[in-house]
Amino acid sequence: MKEDGREFKIALLGFGNAGKAFAALLWDKLEEIRKNYRCSVLVTAIATGSRGCLINENGLDLTRALNEIQERGHFAAENPDASTFTSLEIAEKAVYDILIELTPLAIFSGQPAIDHIEAAFHRKKHVITANKGPIAWDFKRLRRLAESQGVKFCYETTVMDGTPVFNLVEDTLKLCRVTAVKGILNSTTNFILEELTKGRTYDEVIAEGKERGFVEADPSLDVEGWDAAAKTAALLNVLMDADITPDLIQRKGIEGITTKQLREADSNGKVIKLLCRGMIQNGAVVGSVGPEEIDKKELFASISGTSSVVTITTDLMGPVSVVEHDPEILQTAYGVLSDLIRVIA
The per-residue pLDDT for range 280-336, each reduced to its tens digit, is 999 999 999 999 999 999 999 999 989 999 999 999 999 999 999 999 999 999 999
Q: What pLDDT was estimated at residue 5?
A: 64
Assess if residue 2 is contained within a domain.
Answer: no
State which residues of the chain have pLDDT below 70. 1-5
Asked whether residue 1 is assigned to any structural domain, the reply reads no
CA atoms of 71 and 305, how far apart (whole Å): 32
Please check whether residue 217 lies inside any domain of the structure: yes
Percent helix, strand, coil in the chain (nearest 5)? 45, 25, 35
Bridge partners (DSSP) listed for residue 99: 11, 127
Segments in 175-323 forming alpha helices (H): 187-197, 202-212, 220-223, 226-240, 259-267
- Count how many domains the chain has: 2
- How many Å is the Cα radius of gyration of the chain? 21
With pLDDT > 90 as the criterion, what percentage of the chain qualifies? 93
| Confidence (pLDDT) at 3 | 47
Helix locations, 94-244, DSSP H: 113-122, 132-137, 139-149, 157-160, 166-172, 187-197, 202-212, 220-223, 226-240
Assess whether 29 carries a catalytic annotation: no
Q: Does 188 lie in the same domain as 107?
A: no
Give residue 209's pLDDT. Answer: 87
Domain of 157 in residue numbering reads as 7-162+330-344
Give the count of beta carbons closer than 10 Å to the beta carbon of residue 296: 12
Q: Which strands, in side-by-side order, build the sheet including 53-55?
A: 82-83, 53-55, 40-47, 7-13, 98-101, 126-129, 153-154
- Considering the domain architecture, whether residues 79 and 208 belong to the same structural domain is answered as no
Q: Domain of 80: which CATH number?
A: 3.40.50.720
Peptide bond into 112 cis (omega under 30): yes
**Whether the Cβ atoms of residue 258 and residue 266 lie closer than 8 Å to each other:** no
pLDDT at 213: 77
User: Are 225 and 278 contained in the same domain?
Assistant: yes
Whole-number pLDDT of residue 205: 92
Pairing of strands 250-251, 318-324: unpaired
Catalytic residue from among 9, 125, 231, 270: 231
The C-alpha atoms of residue 84 and residue 86 are separated, in whole angstroms, by 6
Same domain, 70 and 121: yes
